[in-house]
Structure 1
Amino acid sequence: MSTTTIAPGALRAEDVAAAAPLPDVFPPVKARRGFIGYIRRNPIMAFGGLLMILILLMAIFAPFLWTVDPTALAPARRTREPSAMYWFGTDMLGRDVYSRVLYGARVSLIVGFSVAFCASVIGLTIGLISGFVRWADAIIMRIMDGLMSIPSILLAIALMALTRGSVGNVILAITIAEVPRVSRLVRGVVLSLREQPYVDAAVASGTTTPRIIIRHILPNTLAPLTVQATYICASAMIAESILSFIGAGTPPIIPSWGNIMAEGRALWQVKPYIVFFPAIFLSLTVLAVNLLGDGLRDWLDPRMAKKV
């Protein structure tokens, strides 16, 4: 029979007392879930995105949403009240307001997205050159200051007065009016970035100026530029409606929210629905874009994060 010997000073398992578990002093760290997790924590941005998607789908699939020709005249059915047959009523020429509002969303969205893209690209290029190339800063910024001294809507009206009314000319006029704001934003970001140590190291190593701008400066300007583009998109939609409302925008034959409101203002007191429906859709679209802009600002800027 074998016997087990225990070395002097050794502890047996039954002689060791298990310590009580320590209380949790710090709450468990919740892992970030990226964009989806941010959407769950920010329902306002989710609402804005959902609303924007619905408006986009409405504009794309307008021909399949029980609409008729938005330019078809029917004098016998003019100024009909909203009903089961005419959901938004008819205007003074008998055109279906529901169809005109849905097709008008295409004009506003095309103008808004096109102006946001063109103004961002042009303003980004001007801002990068002006902010990094010191000798060009004084010349370029004085031109931008001169354009910014004129209210954007007045500048757009003046540019439209020199051309004929069309969607392309409206986009061009509003883009020229919005470029100075983008260029000044990008210039301010570049002025702070070019003093960073990694830029000085790139210059000391002999890196060319275009390479420094593309590799070190440009990526750090995309976040604020993206947020600014959303606000430009909303501003462009409002500007297009103003231009069309006063007769300086898209031709009357093209259904746009501004044209619909302009045609219904004469009957506002007796037939307010002609102006009410396009105004509501314009407000909802601008609200959706602004909510997305606010959400993008919080998501792209770590200083705005609510939870670390």
Structure 2
Amino acid sequence: MSLANDHPGAAPPEGLAIATELPDILKARKPRTGFIGFLRRHPTIAIGGALLLVLIFIAVFAPYLGTVDPSALSPARRTRAPSAQYWFGTDMLGRDIYSRVLYGTRVSLIVGFAVAFFASLGGLAIGLIAGYVRWLDSLVMRVMDSLMSIPPILLAVSLMAITRGSVGNVILAITVAEIPRVSRLVRGVVLSLREQPYVDGAIASGTRTPMIILRHILPNTLAPMTVQATYICGSAMIVEAILSFIGAGTPPNIPSWGNIMAEGRALWQVKPFIVFFPAAFLSVTVLAVNLMGDGLRDMLDPRQAKGV
């Protein structure tokens, strides 16, 4: 203990000097908290989430946003340019493109969210079993590798060829194409987790395999799975638009963005607005989902976080 601390007013002994306190050169930074702090720390999540909320609002309240029946035909008003009456113009059959694009938001969001959920659920189950149960690993992953050798769009087209066009079948076809990629990601995480000391301790204490997977392995796979689910969602929207564009997806009477672009491609050079508006909405939606994925990756993985 120092003499200065014990007797603040006492003089130092001979031969000793007390150093003066150094001034604070760097001011202490206050941690940013609250909503503003979150926006500054994770701007990509904020931007992507805001865009996604706007699109969800459009999908839910499409009937109340100045739309008309998206399937109503009016041949006398076909291929009208955008105007105050028809904000996005009309197509070859006189249907209001604005209404069709807004209703098409429902199809894309339903397909994207449904595929992300079911592919994540199926891939998670397969990846957990294949990664932890060693004797099943080779068998299960060879089946997944054989499915991964087929491009997702070709696999989806082949599955749609044996079924009739509907939103449910499109979701099923894209989900089957995405499950192998999710299962391989989860398997890689499980292979590293099963060698951890706490897993060895659980085995030594007699904990059964299902409980080890649920208590110790599953919680540690949720963070990478959440990030992967956002990319699956965006990819599923693009694949759905491609399937509808080539006539292998949703039926033509359903106003999806792919169907609208497919119907307007013949007039692209003279009436580009028919293709432009659904393509712009598709791009913004995929961008919003990908921004969410990038932001979640930075937030959940400290090594990727900015400023670390």
User: Would the TM-score normalized by the shorter structure come out above 0.5?
Assistant: yes
CA distance in 2, matches of 1:260, 1:228: 29
Runs of 4+ in 1 over 6 A off after TM superposition: none
CA–CA distance in 2 between the matches of 1:215 and 1:33? Answer: 32
Specify the alignment match of 1:260 in structure 2. 260
State the match for 1:191 in structure 2.
191
Letter in 1 for 2:158: A
- How many Å apart are 1:23 and its aligned residue? 1.8
1:120-152 Cα shifts (integer Å, max 9, x gaps): 000000000000000110110000000000000
Provide the residue aligned with 1:181 in structure 2. 181
- CA displacement 1:230-257 (0-9 Å, x = unmatched): 0000000000000000000000000000
- Which letter does structure 1 place at the counterpart of 2:107? V
Counting aligned pairs with the same residue, the percent is: 74
Once the two structures are TM-superposed, the CA of residue 12 in structure 1 deviates from its matched residue by 9.1
| Aligned match of 1:5 | none
Shift of 1:304: 1.6
Match of 1:121 in 2: 121
Partner of 1:65: 65
CA distance in 2, matches of 1:283, 1:182: 24
For the residues of structure 1 that align with 2:96 and 2:7, how far apart are their CA atoms? Answer: 92
- Provide structure 1 residue ranges, at least 5 long, that are not aligned to the other structure: 1-9
Deviations 1:176-214 (A, max 9, x none): 000000000000000000000000110111100000000
Q: Is the 8 A contact 1:38 1:299 kept in 2?
A: no
Deviates more, 1:27-36 or 1:76-85: 27-36
With over 3 angstroms needed to count, the CA separation of the structure-2 counterparts of 1:29 and 1:200, relative to structure 1, is: farther
Alignment check: 8 A CA contact 1:113 1:233 kept? yes
Which blocks of at least 5 consecutive residues in structure 2 are unaligned? 1-5, 13-17
1:79 aligns with 2:82: no
Please give the residue correspondences for 1:149-160 in structure 2 after superposition, counting only pairs within 5 Å: 149-160=149-160
Q: Provide the alpha-carbon RMSD of the alignment.
A: 2.1
Mapped contact 1:90–1:97 kept (Cα < 8 A): yes
For 2:303 and 2:28, locate their aligned partners in 1 and report how far apart those are by CA, in whole Å: 22
**In 1: Cα distance, 2:70 partner to 2:189 partner:** 46
| TM-score with structure 1 setting the length | 0.92
Return the alpha-carbon distance in structure 2 between the equivalents of residues 130 and 142 of structure 1: 11
Partner of 2:15: none
* 1:1-308 matched pairs, under 5 angstroms: 21-24=21-24, 27-31=27-31, 33=33, 37-307=37-307
Query: What one-letter code is carried by the residue in structure 2 that aligns with 1:282?
Result: L
- Are the counterparts in 1 of residues 70 and 255 from structure 2 also a CA contact under 8 Å? yes
SS in 1 for 2:92: coil
Query: 1:258, 1:169 → 2: CA distance?
Result: 16
Q: Which amino acid aligns with 1:303?
A: R
Q: Tell me the residue number matched to 1:7.
A: none
Amino acid at match of 2:212: I
Give the whole-Å Cα distance in 2 for the aligned partners of 1:162 and 1:232: 24
Work out whether residues 42 and 299 of structure 2, in 8 Å CA contact, stay in contact via their aligned partners in 1. no
Task: Tell me the CA shift for residue 278 of structure 1.
Answer: 0.1
Instruction: Using structure 2 for the length normalisation, give the TM-score.
Output: 0.92
Structure-2 separation of matches of 1:295 and 1:37: 14
Q: Which is higher, the Rg of structure 1 or of structure 2?
A: 1
The count of residues paired between Structure 1 and Structure 2 equals 299
Change (3 A) 1:23 1:67: same
CA distance, structure 2, for counterparts of residue 110 and residue 164 of structure 1: 18
Q: Is the 8 A contact 2:44 2:294 kept in 1?
A: no
Counterpart amino acid of 1:146? S
